[in-house]
């Protein structure tokens, strides 16, 4: 190369002939002028291309032809990162002299240097790239940068389709995807297409390494070996590139019934059919005899519909060799380069259709029976399912029973006696004098809407119903024996320390609470349908572990009211954290405010009331901030209340930020407005 100074003018001719006086070989040669570098370059004597060095007389291509090495070479491991052993597979060589498809197998150890250069990226061959859908926008932009940087006159680097980078056809040479560790990737439409087209699948790290080194680096250390779910010794994806033989034998006849394609892979039905044909299988038609037929369906419902349609049309003969599979069977066989077992891809309901008998309930698992029996009334379980066989009897004995006694019949009595040890819930709607509560030792919840006998009341005690956790009486009735005295007071000394009822639901506060509260210490939740303002002091003064309280406070006081219990000013209830109050008093919320000062552990408060004004909300916000500043959640339902600008409430207290003013429609065209935190 002969350089020119900046002062020299450019030559009139860009090519000149030079006599070899100052060159070692003393031959004449041609030179070409480069206007960018302002210098002359020697040209090859054979093809007039640029030479590698100024002292050479031939270009790289002609130099390699005249200096072919005759000795064998020693291959080195290409993967310098993890030093994984490359597969000692067979490399197939195309015979350029013949037009047939015969291929010669050459061992990897005996390949000469020109063949190794063909295995690496040959700069004279074009690189056609497609990307997988696993790449994000930033990665795709880096792939475009790779194309722009290395595409030139001597090396063609481009997308298979510029407008659709993930498009793949038989001209594609490389597919770029993400490496999820140990040279694995997720299965996508592009990966499956690359396997059936025998395309090189590379990690995205190949792109970044080439851009960083400003040259196209060796691709083999970045080759994807297998899919993410395969075992570590699998090399299925890599084997697809070497082995040009199809995965499926032609005896595999496949019928594609996925009319909507594979939505999870964004694959159309036509693309699925093309993949099946390239994998070696044969598509079903009316003229092909088959020994094994595989029908691909997306879901169990589609499988059952297709099977019913085929059975009605008598299209299928010899059903023992017909399998209704999911498309994953084809995909896994391709990426693993081995036909997989069809059993784990077939629908289990297909086995039911192969049975000779129309109904075989015995094949259902026990868990399905337990779920089925939970929807069947106990009377039907006893009269229909009991006694069929020993297995069903054993399953019936494991079912937890909930019983609603809405009538007094002999059938109910027999069912109660049979499932007595399995009943966990009883709701008594009508008088049932023959009912013996002492036989339900595993009872968890008891709801009573009617009057009980003395024997039934006497059975409600810890020694007889040790697992009872919820007791619900919807109303009182006139009886000489006080109900609560029978239930709570008639304990022996050995019973008083037994943890028992956790939830107690009563219509009102009984007089018994004023005289004996020792046996209420284990109750965590109390619900009262109607109490008076003075009863709240009585409830809070109980020495119990009460954590949740739900009450409805009414406006009138009874004529013979309970003796009022007043709380000391410094009294603090140490356990109550959840309070649900419905105020139905004439002074709205004024009876509630003094009680809040005695609840230092309160975290959740629900208030329901009617007809509040903006002034009432201002007072409520002040009282909550002053008396319970530690409150975490506030819920409300204020009916017959309309606030035009709800943002005024949001500014009063942070607890009011979820309030909404909603219009509630009634039948007949009536409506009212409600300020609430609930979804109506």
Mean per-residue pLDDT, 38-56: 72
277 or 37, greater pLDDT: 277
Q: What are 229's two structure tokens?
A: 């779910």
Region 597-624: what's the mean pLDDT?
93
pLDDT of residue 617: 94
H helix or E strand, kind and range, residue 126:
none
What is the reported pLDDT for 355?
42
Q: Give the span between the Cα atoms of 532 and 516, in whole angstroms.
A: 20
* Overall residue count recorded for the chain in this entry: 680
Confidence of residue 338 (pLDDT cuts 50, 70, 90): confident
pLDDT the model gives residue 26:
47
| pLDDT confidence bin for 287, thresholds 50/70/90 | low
pLDDT band at 619 (very low <50, low <70, confident <90, very high): very high
Out of 33-42, 176-185, 263-272, 603-612, least confident range = 33-42
Rounded average pLDDT over 99-115: 40
Q: Contact, 625 vs 631, CB < 8 A?
A: no
**Lowest-confidence range among 482-486, 600-604, 614-618?**
482-486
Q: Which one has a higher pLDDT value, 647 or 31?
A: 647
Number of H helices, E strands in the chain: 21, 28
The reported pLDDT for the residue numbered 245 is 81
First to last CA, the chain: 87
Summarised one tens digit per residue, pLDDT across range 344-381 is 787 654 444 444 344 467 778 888 888 989 889 999 99
- Look at phi and psi of residue 183 and say left if phi exceeds 0, alpha if psi is from -120 to 50, else beta: left
**Dihedral class, residue 266 (left if φ above 0, else alpha if ψ from -120 to 50, else beta):** left
**pLDDT of amino acid 53:** 67
- Residue that has been written with the tokens 């005759």 in this structure: 70
Residue with tokens 């197939």: 92
Q: How many other C-beta atoms are found inside a 10 Å radius of the C-beta of residue 116?
A: 12
> Which superfamily is assigned to 123-242 in CATH?
BRCT domain (3.40.50.10190)
pLDDT band at 126 (very low <50, low <70, confident <90, very high): confident
**Fold of domain 252-351:** Rossmann fold (3.40.50)
pTM of the model as a whole? 0.48
User: Quick check: 121 pLDDT over 80?
Assistant: no
195-224: average pLDDT: 89
Same fold, 123-242 and 252-351: yes
- Which residue would you say has higher pLDDT here, 86 or 478? 478
Edge-to-edge strand list for the sheet holding 29-34? 2-3, 39-42, 29-34, 15-18
Question: Does 304 or 484 have the greater pLDDT score?
Answer: 304
**Across 271-288, average pLDDT:** 83
What's the whole-number mean pLDDT along residues 490-517? 67
Token code pair at residue 52: 């590698």
- Over residues 170-179, the mean pLDDT reads 88
How confident is the model over 210-216, as a mean pLDDT? 90
Can you state the percent helix, strand and coil of the chain, rounding each to 5?
30, 20, 50
pLDDT at 625: 93
How far apart are alpha carbons 327 and 299 in whole angstroms? 10
pLDDT for res 647: 92
Question: For strand 184-185 and strand 578-584, is the pairing parallel, antiparallel, or unpaired?
Answer: unpaired
Enumerate the domain spans of the chain: 2-66, 123-242, 252-351
Q: What is the DSSP string of 408-468?
A: --HHHHHHHHHTTTTEEEEEE-S--TT--GGG-TT--EEEE-SPPPHHHHHT-STTTSTT-
Confidence at residue 348, expressed as pLDDT on a 0 to 100 scale: 54
Average pLDDT, the chain: 77
Cβ partners under 8 Å of residue 529, min gap 6: 474, 506, 507, 508, 552
């Amino acid at each position: 190369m002969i350089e020119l100074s900046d002062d020299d003018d450019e030559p009139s001719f860009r090519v000149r002939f030079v006599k070899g006086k100052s060159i070692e070989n003393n031959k004449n040669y041609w030179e070409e002028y480069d206007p960018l570098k302002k210098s002359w370059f020697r040209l090859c004597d054979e093809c007039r291309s640029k030479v590698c060095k100024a002292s050479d007389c031939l270009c790289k291509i002609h130099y390699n032809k005249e200096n072919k090495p005759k000795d064998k070479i020693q291959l080195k491991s290409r993967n310098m990162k993890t030093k994984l052993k490359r597969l000692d597979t067979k490399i197939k060589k195309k015979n350029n002299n013949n037009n047939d498809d015969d291929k010669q197998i050459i061992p990897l150890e005996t390949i000469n240097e020109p063949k190794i250069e063909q295995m690496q990226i040959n700069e004279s061959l074009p690189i056609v790239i497609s990307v997988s859908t696993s790449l994000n926008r930033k990665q795709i932009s880096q792939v475009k940068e790779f194309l722009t940087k290395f595409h030139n006159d001597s090396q063609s680097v481009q997308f298979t389709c510029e407008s659709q980078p993930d498009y793949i056809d038989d001209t594609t040479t490389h597919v770029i995807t993400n490496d999820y560790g140990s040279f694995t990737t997720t299965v996508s439409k592009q990966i499956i297409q690359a396997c059936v087209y025998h395309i090189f699948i590379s990690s995205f790290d190949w792109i970044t390494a080439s851009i960083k080194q400003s040259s196209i680096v060796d691709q083999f250390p970045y080759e994807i070996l297998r899919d993410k779910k395969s075992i570590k010794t699998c090399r299925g994806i890599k084997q697809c590139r070497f082995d040009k033989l199809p995965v499926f034998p032609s005896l595999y006849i496949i019928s594609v019934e996925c009319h909507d394609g594979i939505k999870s892979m964004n694959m159309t039905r036509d693309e699925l059919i093309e993949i099946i044909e390239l994998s070696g299988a044969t598509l079903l038609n009316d003229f092909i005899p088959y020994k094994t037929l595989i029908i691909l369906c997306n879901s169990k419902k589609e499988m059952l519909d297709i099977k019913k349609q085929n059975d009605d049309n008598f299209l299928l003969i010899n059903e023992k060799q017909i399998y209704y599979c999911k498309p994953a069977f084809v995909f896994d066989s391709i990426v693993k380069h081995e036909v997989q077992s069809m059993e784990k891809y077939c629908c289990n309901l297909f086995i039911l259709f192969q049975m000779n008998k129309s109904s075989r309930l015995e094949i259902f698992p026990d868990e399905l029976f337990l779920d089925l029996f939970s929807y069947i009334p106990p009377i039907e379980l006893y009269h229909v399912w009991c006694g069929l066989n020993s297995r069903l009897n054993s399953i019936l004995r494991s079912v937890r029973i909930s019983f609603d006694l809405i009538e007094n019949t002999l059938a109910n009595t027999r069912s109660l006696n049979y499932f007595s040890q399995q009943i966990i819930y009883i709701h008594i709607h009508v008088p049932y004098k023959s009912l013996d509560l002492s036989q339900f030792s595993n009872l968890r919840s008891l709801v009573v809407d009617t009057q009980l006998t003395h024997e039934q009341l006497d059975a409600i005690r810890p020694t007889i119903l040790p697992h009872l956790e919820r007791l619900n009486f919807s109303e009182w009735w006139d009886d000489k024996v006080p109900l609560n005295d029978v239930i709570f007071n008639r304990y022996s000394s050995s019973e008083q320390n037994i943890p028992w009822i956790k939830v107690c639901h009563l219509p009102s506060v009984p007089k018994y609470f004023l005289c004996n509260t020792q046996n209420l210490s284990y109750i965590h939740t109390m619900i009262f349908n109607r109490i008076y303002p003075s009863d709240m002091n009585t409830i809070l003064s109980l020495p119990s572990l009460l954590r949740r309280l739900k009450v409805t406070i009414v406006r009138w006081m009874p004529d013979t009211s309970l003796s009022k219990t007043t709380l000391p000013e410094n009294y603090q209830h140490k356990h109550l954290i959840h309070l649900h109050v419905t105020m139905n008093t004439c002074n709205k919320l004024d009876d509630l405010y003094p009680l809040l000062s005695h609840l230092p552990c309160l975290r959740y408060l629900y208030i329901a009331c009617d007809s509040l004004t903006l002034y009432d909300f201002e007072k409520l916000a002040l009282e909550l901030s002053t008396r319970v500043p530690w409150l975490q959640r506030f819920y409300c339902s204020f009916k017959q209340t309309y606030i035009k600008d709800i943002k005024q409430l949001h500014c009063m207290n942070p607890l009011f930020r979820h309030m909404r003013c909603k219009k509630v429609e009634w039948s007949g065209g009536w409506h009212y407005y409600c300020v609430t935190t609930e979804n109506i």
